[in-house]
Amino acid sequence: SNTIDQSQVLKGRKIIVTAGGTREPIDPVRYITNHSSGKMGFAIAKAAADAGAEVTLIAANTSLPHFDGVSVISVVTAREMAAEVTKRFAEADGLIMSAAIADFRPETVADHKIKKVADEDKMTLTMVKNPDIVKSIGKVKRADQFVVGFAAETNDLMANANKKITSKNLDLIVANDVGNKKIGFNSDQNQVTLIWPNGETKKTSVETKSKVAEELIKIIAEFK
Ligand code: CTP
Ligand code: CA
């Protein structure tokens, strides 16, 4: 027959996947984070491993079951995620950056639980910018490496995602409408628009995150 075995399309490839949402501490008992569950990143890691890739999953604050064939590295903050991605990227064939990174972190972390101040009805927290991980990787990536980013948008999805492809030097962006409550964060379903640097786009149907992950992995297998 003409059937081609699609099951090992990433055999021998080393892929880094990030997942989850970073936590940025305020004091020993409080932090700032976002709604990412890590489900999309875990599904991508699984699909890549099923396709024969050697997968390192750098997971921020997820509580999802691990699976065979994927080595998981746990991190908490954006800066820890940055360190783990940066030290591994040169050895990898590609990076899929599905983690939701906090753009800012509290400038200082109190070493004790911050107390309310009597008679103060407001408190001010100064935040400083976190490193843009995928942007710095985009600057150093070689021609034989790929970088896939995500764009979480509540509005102007296409325009915002297109800017990110260019500014971060991505090979593909997975644009996610996080304003839609039925899909995206924490859901088991997702619908994404894939956007290539040449402007080509493909919108997936609403389907399970595993299915979206499999479609993404097939596309990545065709890179180079
Ligand atoms: N990203 C990153 N490091 C950051 C922020 C984002 O690596 N400090 C990555 C995300 O993992 C994602 C892509 O950049 O793959 C886009 O993230 P997103 O939050 O949509 O875009 P930002 O560039 O942070 O811009 P904004 O939040 O202002 O839309
Ligand atoms: Ca952001």
ipTM score here? 0.99
Sign of CA dihedral 212, 21, 97, 149: positive
User: Is 105 close to ligand 1, i.e. is its CB under 6 Å away?
Assistant: no
Angle at 154 between CA 211 and CA 72, to 5 degrees: 45
Q: Which residues have a Cβ under 8 Å from the Cβ of 213 and sit 6 or more positions away?
A: 40, 43, 44, 46, 47
pLDDT band at 215 (very low <50, low <70, confident <90, very high): very high
What pLDDT, on the 0 to 100 scale, is given for residue 177?
Answer: 82
State how far the Cα of 49 lies from the Cα of 95, in Å rounded to an integer.
Answer: 14
62, 146 contact by CB (below 8 A): no
Beta-bridged to residue 173, according to DSSP, are 149, 195
Span 12-61, pLDDT tens digits? 999 999 999 999 999 999 999 999 999 999 999 999 999 999 999 999 99
**Tell me: the pLDDT tens digits for 193-202?**
999 999 999 9
> 132 alpha carbon to ligand 1 midpoint, in Å?
7
Pick the closest to residue 215 from 29, 15, 18, 48 (CA basis). Answer: 48
- Closest residue by Cα to atom 4, ligand 1, is 132
52: left (phi over 0), alpha (psi -120 to 50) or beta: left
Taken in order of first residue, the domains within the chain and their CATH numbers are: 14-103+130-221 (3.40.50.10300)
Does residue 34 carry a catalytic annotation? yes
Residue 167, phi then psi, degrees to nearest 5: -65, -25
Cα separation, 22 vs 102, in Å, equals 6
Q: Is the entire prediction scored with pTM above 0.90?
A: yes
Ligand 1 lined by 149 (C-beta under 6 Å): yes
* The one-letter amino acid at 154: T
Do the Cβ atoms of 164 and 131 come closer than 8 Å?
A: no
Q: What is the pLDDT of residue 6?
A: 62
Ligand 1 atom closest to 148 (CA): 15
Q: Is 96 in the pocket of ligand 1 (CB under 6 A)?
A: no
Lookup: tokens for 180: 């839609």
